[in-house]
Amino acid sequence: MKTVLITGANRSIGLETAKQLSEKGLFVYVGSRNLAKGEETVKELTAQGFQNIKAIEIDVTNRESIAKAKSSVETEQGKLDILINNAGILGVNPQTAAETSVNDIREVFDTNFFGVINVTQAFLDLLKKSDSPRISNITSGLGSLTLHSDPEWKYYHVKTAAYGPSKSALNAYTITLAYELRELPFKVNVIDPGYTATDFNGHSGPGSVESAASFIVKHTLTDENGPTGQYFSNDIEDETGISPW
């Protein structure tokens, strides 16, 4: 049975991704910054008939928390097949480049960028024990510098001084990581689930969590011939789903 850890999985897109992967027969670690909330989520999922799901406490901004989570997975499973770095925050609103404080920007980067690096580096040796390791970093269309430079893009006017740049940085890090792991069976990609109606954005997005999670699962459960170092977006309206960087 393949094992997957999803950070920030006790609600919204992360939760739905956990459900869909459980249905596909994977053992799912539901990562939650608050263990009690994670365990309550798992209790509800179990009551709904989902199997092989376990809550695990992991705060991506806390190295001690990450190390503890890594130790638990190693003891229980001996390896990790899939890491989905889903935890993220939006930050203060509005986010103007002229006035958003460095501290507010740093707080977003701590979770969305440095948090991903913290978790990835901690779990890398467990992923290397898998026959088909996968790392999916959940990004946003707002991380695309190419689209942000196109006045015709439908979200051209949605500019953020913290959130978007944190995802651009994540995209760049993913390219480097995929390159470094290219000789191993890793597939490392960034996946934008699209503008989805969630608590994250006050349910303003047009997409559903089911569609968002399905897109993540599709581009995570790839075979040995699957792409690596790619940027997929559920908002790209063609069959490839590939977004410009």
Point out the residues that are catalytic: 163, 167
Q: In angstroms, what CA-CA distances link 110 with 84, 104, 154, 242?
A: 17, 10, 28, 27
